[in-house]
Structure 1
Amino acid sequence: MNTSTREEVQKYEEGPSLSNASATAPTAEQQDPTNVYAAAKKLADVIKGANVEDINSTIETLACQTDSFAIFNFRGLLRGSLLHIAAATGNRDILRLLLSYVDANLIATRDDWGNTPLHIATKAKAFEVADMLIRRARDLSSGEDKNWILRIKNNHGNTALHEAVLTRDVGLVRHLLGEDLEPVYWENEDKKSPLYLALDTGNSDILRVLFSPSLDPSRIEGLPLVLGAVARKQYGSLDEILKKNKKLFAMTDSKGGNVFHLAAFLNEPRIFDLLRPETEYLVRERDTNGDLPIHIASKMGHVELIEKLHSVSPWLNGQGQTILHVAAKYGREKAVRYIIGHLDMREMINERDHDGNTPLHLAVIYLRLNVLIHLVLDENINPSLLNRKGLAAVDIALNHPPRGLRSGFEHLLLLSVSAESSDLIILKPEARDRAYANRSLPIPDRLREGINTSMVVATLVTTVTFAAGFAVPGGFISSDTTSKDDWGMATMLDNRMFQAFVICNTIAMFCSMTSVVGFMLAYLTEVRSAIVGCLLAGVPLAIALPAMSAAFLIGVTLTIGKFHWLATAILILGSVFILIITGAILSPVVLLSLLFLPFFFHRLRPIRPLTCRFFLAYLRFLQVGTFNLDDPKEDRTGSMTSASPPLDGGDGD
């Protein structure tokens, strides 16, 4: 709205005196408020009845009273003024009759919701009443702008045109639009123009009427119309917009995202059927983050959209990252598999962005283990490439302290495929002393805490199983009635379940003892050896815990064997928990240990892919592949795009 128009509207919103207003007429405040309210309410009730004869009779009666002017112009009714109530009836005869008695200022009066009588008539779909109010306002206006009544907004920011769109009255919308085109560009408090509200109503006829005049897309305020159509899956409206005005189709949001950015985020393949020679340039436009629609599709893991866009879209975003960089960063496993398996796009696997990072670097930085496995197993990968900081992917992994099972597997996997790089000490001679010093890296505090915890657990198992070996179920033979050769023997020595108890307890004892020794050695070495030692020591500990549980279960069953139902129940219950403990502890440790074969023997290449695939299957089974509980802080915030909120980065495939 220009300055002169705003001033004109503001003048009438404040209730100025119009050309035929009575300057000397008494106001409601000069009369007895009780009597004025009662009379005005009585007249309002008659108007609601919509009987012209009764209204005319009541008005003639009131006209004889000395305070009739205050009654006719009373504004304190529950529904506003008498003019508001008359407009709500939709009866033009009632409105014409009342306009003969009320003050001219009343036509711009607002109710508690900021509605003028024109707003009320529009909501009531009263075409003739609305037209009468518009004509009356123009006759009374002495300013340059004759359309001021059409431009007044209520408390929700709606003009009469906004309200007409919400009522879904096509004829009323067409009439108001013909009276004044300006409000079609304006937004309300919800940032919605009448064009956008037409999408909310789902009425294509109204949208077609609003498009009938030639619109200037640069003047449309609020939410972009074309993006609203995408979000609502109104494909017909999109096609209508494209046919009407290509500039409307190119509208963007506040961060520069166009229709294809949003469609890529929402995974709407049908929107890309609108890719034509005259619209292809939109898939080559970047948003304020530098992302193209194909990068949004890669970020979300929408393989079908990548397939549609790769032939018409550039591959680099504002950071010099390919779609494989983006898919690796956000852990989109399906997208990574598709790209590295595509004949034209697989060359991206060793491309570097502006920071020199390859997709492998980003997968390591953001700990995307599910993606890392696929990249490492590809025969075209070059894990020795350095970024701008002179670091290979394995260097980044080793510089990060271990953060659990996933990071430990990542370290070992990269070490098993990466040859020792000497480029860094050539590029930066000053790094030689540091490289020598790093031959014995100190153990990080978190790793040291993990070793201590594991050692305590192993020690407790050792202590318990050692004690159980000399406090067996049933006790020992010590009676004088038996042979001296049997003294000190277990009373249940001939029982098969007892023999199973002894075997399980012995396995748990020696495995836990071996684990204690392993953790002690890991505690005293440097970080790389500590990682190896922890994993090796974890194998016997993972065996000891189920074995100790089995020994306990057998021992309890022996002592309550007289009650068969109780022994059976305990045996079944305990067996279930032993299976859970075994699966949760033993499986990942064994899988990690298998990785040492290709780590120490690089020529045994078939073992590494097999181990990786088993570990990946294990992650999926535990649904770990879609969640990164130990992600770095910078990854949790995510990278904002114009079409998407911060992402959790997990693989939603």
Structure 2
Amino acid sequence: MSASIGEEVHEDEGGAALNNASVTARTVEQQVPAKVHAAARKLADVIKGANVKDINSMINKLTCQTDSSAIFNFRELSRGSLLHIAAATGKSDILGLLLEHVDANLIAAKDDWWNTPLHIATKAKAHEVADMLIHKARNLSSGEDNNWILRRKNKHGNAALHEAVLTRDAHLVSHLLSIELEPVYWENVDRKSPLYLALDAGNSKIFRILLSYSLDPSRIEGLPPIHGVVAREQYDLLDEILKKNMKLFTMTDAMGGNIFHLAAFWNVPQVFKHLQLETEYLARERDSNGDLPIHIASKRGHVAIIEKLHGVSRWVNGQGQTILHVAAKHGREKAVRYILRPPDLREMINERDHDGNTPSHLAVKYLQPAALLHLVLDERMNPYLLNHERLAIVDCAPYPARRGFRPRMVRILLQSMSAKRSDLTILKPEARDKEYANISLINTRGLRENINTLLLVATLVTTVTFTAGFTVPGGLNSSDRASKDDRGMATMLDDKMFQDFVFYNSIAMFCSMTSVVFFMLAYLTEVHFSIFGCLVAGVLLAISLPTMSYAFLIGVTLTVGKLPELANGISFFGDIFILIITGALLSPMVFDLALYPFVIRRLRPIRPLVSWFILAFLCFFKVETTIISDDSKEDQRGIKTSASPPLDGGGED
């Protein structure tokens, strides 16, 4: 019998007598609450002391009072009823004394967390107390369900069996299972059954006890225990589950993902040791997204898992996408590189999905330059293939073009492809006029924003270098001490490093000043001259920044020259940062040159070097691979996996 979380049984199996007794007890409590509360609290304190003689004496005194029934059945104590407190002591003789004086319904009483006395006894690992309560509940039952007390849940959704598992008491768990097996299938509010809780508790002995029963996995509620084995890294249990209950091994989560889907998501190669003849079919099962485990591994870029699965798995998911489609879409560069190597996999490069997209289409659409690089450099890739929207690979870039490094890299890579002219204008002649109208369309607002930013930087460089020209290291010769010929001259004029300082500072100053002039002209003139002015000014500004940095480094080194260790340290780290600054400024030009179509197609020997350089740059700056697209529905399907929580909050990671 399955029970919903938070289920409350309003009528006990003991019949109407229990309900009548409950009404009577509540009526008496309402009449004299203060007096009854004080007496019940006093008795509770004595029970907590766990002295049987004191408890017996106190009970005898209370029995002589007219309101003794209300005291014994009082439920409003901080820890529930007196039965709850007695059960917490774990002593059966104390509970036995109290059971002789309380009403029968009190055995089902709940505290603030809906715990019955049996829950409390289970938490206290009190075997005899738990047996007494179960036996008492059976005596009260007039129906066929003698074990109703074992079916009661607290606010956490835990029955007594759940609590026994959480206490890690293997003997108590085994005893409760021998009395009532049904709660082993139930989930609590955390969607965890006793099997899953045993994994949380890290007690493999209890898990094996639960596993020893002939369980029906289709009845287990909540999170699949087999997924919990992987989540808690208790891989030694996988063999036992396979041997004792194969159906338990094949359980799926809320999105239809089996254990291999989850292991592929988390990159757990230990699980795939169990990829045997009797379990291979699981590697060919799709989840509710239509993905196979190998597609999950491809989404995550787990090459080792792809290698294990590609021999036994199907290639296409529910959207008709191969693992190369998935890897390209999610920017998994290592996975793309691996798939393009084996002869039986690399033919996927021109395969089309249900929407007609090749892997290259998806890499362009979702702006994944690292993945696209390998596809572009592969000569087998056909750039003329069209998808069902009649778009070639070069036509799939998001329009209007996004700003940022990733879109720029994708555009550069597209320029290097052999498909110089798209078939789109032939398939859709009506688009020619629009395309012609957009050729000269320039975002003037964005251009002016860029000019303002660069003009500010150039002005700052000019100010700094101009000031440094008159506040040189070492200062100037004063008029009272220096000779007539040396007055006003730099004190370190004959020093070679000082001469270098003046040289680099002057270059930085004149370049930045010239760039300021060109930026001003670019801002004030028409758009085409503005572009030319920005290019010239940008080059000059790019020269001024590293030269200014080098002038600063020389100046600081001169001022601390008497401490060679400090001077050498500053010089070393300064050189490193100047290289970084120079590399960052030159990288756009290097990329444009390195990926120029002539270089890509003609100079084959340097292709690996170009590829390595670009990938190293992407990795160093940790360029993200998050899917960028306006297609929110497809994005959601692409990102979400069988191992991810579903949108409604269910499922299992």
TM over 0.5: yes
Contact 2:550 2:578 in 1 (8 A): no
> Which residue of structure 2 aligns with residue 414 of structure 1?
414
Find the aligned partners of 1:398 and 1:206 in 2 and give their Cα distance.
55
After superposition, the Cα gap between the structure-2 partners of 1:5 and 1:455, relative to the gap in structure 1 and judged at 3 Å, is closer
Change (3 A) 1:394 1:11: same
Q: 1:512–1:611: structure 2 CA closer, same or farther, 3 Å change rule? A: farther
Question: What is the DSSP-based 3-state SS (H/G/I as helix, E as strand, rest coil) of the residue aligned with 2:401?
Answer: coil
The CA deviation string for residues 430-479 of structure 1, in whole angstroms up to 9 with x for no partner, is: 2333343344343464355335534564577679879999999969x9xx
Report the CA distance shift for 1:217/1:322 in structure 2 as closer, same or farther (over 3 A). same
Q: CA deviation at 1:306?
A: 0.6
| CA offset digits 1:553-574 (Å, max 9, x no partner) | 668999x7xx965999799758
> Hey, what does 2:148 align to over in structure 1?
148
Give deviations 1:1-26, integer Å, cap 9, x for gaps: 57999999321399963399599789
State how 1:600-639 maps to structure 2 within 5 Å: 601=598, 603-607=602-606, 609-620=608-619, 623-627=620-624, 639=639
What does 1:73-112 correspond to in 2, within 5 Å? Answer: 73-112=73-112
How many angstroms apart in 2 are the aligned matches of 1:58 and 1:469? Answer: 98
1:549 Cα deviation (Å)? Answer: 4.1
Partner AA of 1:259 in structure 2: I
Q: Distance in 2 between matches of 1:4 and 1:16?
A: 25
Q: Which runs of 5 or more residues in structure 2 are unaligned?
A: 647-653
Secondary structure, aligned partner of 2:260: helix
- Displacement of 1:108 in angstroms is 1.1
**What secondary structure is seen at the aligned counterpart in 1 of 2:442?**
coil
Deviation at 1:628, TM superposition (A): 6.1
Is structure 2 residue 260 aligned with structure 1 residue 263? no
Q: Aligned partner of 1:137: which letter?
A: A
1:263 Cα shift? 0.9
* Residue 544 to residue 409, structure 1, CA distance change in 2 (3 Å): farther
Deviations 1:289-336 (A, max 9, x none): 222211111111111111111111122222222212222222222212
Deviates more, 1:601-610 or 1:67-76: 601-610
- For the pair 1:232 / 2:259, whether they are aligned, the reply is no
Aligned pair 1:596/2:593, yes or no? yes
Give the Å deviation of 1:169.
Answer: 2.3
Amino acid in structure 1 at the alignment position of 2:624:
F
Distance in structure 1 (CA, Å) of the matches to 2:262 and 2:596: 45
In the aligned structure 2, how far is the partner of 1:5 from the partner of 1:554? 74
Q: CA deviation at 1:489?
A: 12
Q: Distance in 2 between matches of 1:546 and 1:143?
A: 90
Which residue of 1 is the match for residue 642 of structure 2? 642
Q: Which amino acid aligns with 1:264?
A: A
> 1 CA distance for matches of 2:106 and 2:490?
107
Structure 2 distance, partners of 1:537, 1:170, is 78
For residue 200 of structure 1, report the CA deviation from its aligned partner: 1.7
Task: Give the deviation of 1:392 after TM superposition.
Answer: 3.2
Q: Contact 1:539–1:589 at 8 Å: present in 2 too?
A: no
CA contact (8 A) 1:294 1:323 kept: yes
Contact 1:401 1:446 in 2 (8 A): no
Matched, 1:580 2:577: yes
Does the C-alpha gap of structure 1 residues 570 and 401 become closer, same or farther in structure 2, counting only changes over 3 Å? farther
Whole-angstrom CA distance in 2 between matches of 1:227 and 1:499: 71
| 1:360 corresponds to | 360
Q: Which residue matches 2:449?
A: 449
Separation in 2, partners of 1:142, 1:199: 37
Deviations 1:268-303 (A, max 9, x none): 111111112222222222222222211111111111
Distance 1:400 1:352, change over 3 A: farther
Question: Residue in 1 aligned with 2:280?
Answer: 280
Instruction: Rate the CA distance shift 1:394–1:459 in 2: closer, same or farther, 3 A.
Output: farther
* Counterpart residue number, 2:313: 313
Distance in 2, Cα, partners of 1:354 & 1:175: 56
Tell me which amino acid in the other structure corresponds to 1:267: N
- Helix, strand or coil at the partner of 1:12: coil
What amino acid does structure 2 have at the position aligned with 1:592? M
* 3-state SS of paired residue (2:453): helix
2-structure distance, mates of 1:91, 1:552? 82
Secondary structure in structure 2 of the residue aligned to 1:11: coil
Identity %: 64
Alignment of 1:521-540 (within 5 A): 538-540=538-540
Distance 1:585 1:363, change over 3 A: farther
- What displacement does 1:65 show? 3.0
Deviations 1:225-274 (A, max 9, x none): 11111100112333322323222222222222221111111111111111
Instruction: Say whether residues 1:205 and 2:205 are aligned partners.
Output: yes
Check if 1:131 corresponds to 2:128: no
CA distance in 2, matches of 1:4, 1:625: 47
Q: Distance in 2 between matches of 1:179 and 1:165?
A: 15
Structure-2 change in CA distance of 1:318 and 1:227 (3 Å):
same
* Distance across 2 between alignment mates of 1:413 and 1:632: 19
Can you give the 5+ residue segments of structure 1 that lack an aligned partner in the other structure? 647-653
Q: 1:2 to 1:609 in 2, by over 3 A?
A: closer
TM-score normalized with structure 2 length: 0.82
Aligned to 1:650: none
Partners of 1:455 and 1:372 in 2: CA distance: 35
* 1:59-114 CA distance string (max 9 Å, x none): 34433333332232222333332322333333334333332222111111122332
CA distance in 1, matches of 2:260, 2:594: 48
Rounded Cα–Cα distance in structure 2 between residues aligned with 1:253 and 1:379: 42
> After alignment, is 580-589 or 8-17 more displaced?
8-17
For residue 551 of structure 1, report the CA deviation from its aligned partner: 4.9
Moved more, 631-640 or 601-610: 631-640
Indicate if the aligned counterparts of 1:31 and 1:70 stay in contact, CA closer than 8 A.
Answer: no
Q: TM-score, normalised by structure 1?
A: 0.82
Report the equivalent of 1:504. Answer: 504
Distance 1:408 1:450, change over 3 A: farther
SS in 2 for 1:345: helix
Equivalent-residue separation in structure 2 for 1:175 and 1:250 (angstroms): 28
CA 1:539 to 1:360, structure 2 compared with 1: closer, same or farther past 3 Å?
A: farther
SS at match of 1:364: helix
Q: How many residues align?
A: 634
Contact 2:412 2:595 in 1 (8 A): no
Taking the aligned partners of 2:410 and 2:581, their CA distance within structure 1 comes to 19
SS in 2 for 1:29: helix
In the alignment, is the contact (CA less than 8 A) between 1:113 and 1:155 conserved in 2?
yes
1:482 shift after superposition: 9.4
Residues 297-306 or 70-79, more deviating: 70-79
1:436 is aligned to 436
Is structure 2 residue 388 aligned with structure 1 residue 388? yes
Which string of whole-angstrom CA distances, capped at 9 and with x for unpartnered residues, describes residues 400-423 of structure 1? Answer: 536244543432332123332342
Shift in Å, 1:643: 0.9
Q: How does 1:161-200 map to 2 (within 5 A)?
A: 161-200=161-200
Quick one: distance in 2 between partners of 1:5 and 1:413?
56
Change (3 A) 1:607 1:73: closer
Partner of 1:649: none
Give the 3 Å change call, closer, same or farther, for CA 360–447 of structure 1 in structure 2.
farther
Deviations along 1:527-569, one digit per CA (max 9) or x if unpaired, are 9x96x997786444322322244456668999x7xx9659997
- Cα displacement (A) at 1:524: 6.1
5 Å matches for 1:483-522? Answer: 496=496, 500=500, 503-504=503-504, 507-508=507-508
- CA distance in 2 between partners of 1:90 and 1:383 (Å): 77
Q: Deviations over 1:28-49 (max 9, x none)?
A: 4276444434443444444445
Find the counterpart in structure 1 of residue 545 from structure 2. 545
The whole-number CA distance in structure 2 between the counterparts of 1:584 and 1:571 is 20
C-alpha change, 1:435 and 1:125, in structure 2 (3 Å) is same
CA deviation map 1:565-587 (0-9, x unaligned): 59997997588546524422445
Of the structure 1 ranges 506-515 and 43-52, higher mean CA displacement relative to structure 2 is found in 506-515
Counterpart of 2:259 in structure 1: which amino acid?
V
Q: For residue 630 of structure 1, report the CA deviation from its aligned partner.
A: 11
Displacement of 1:126 in angstroms is: 2.4
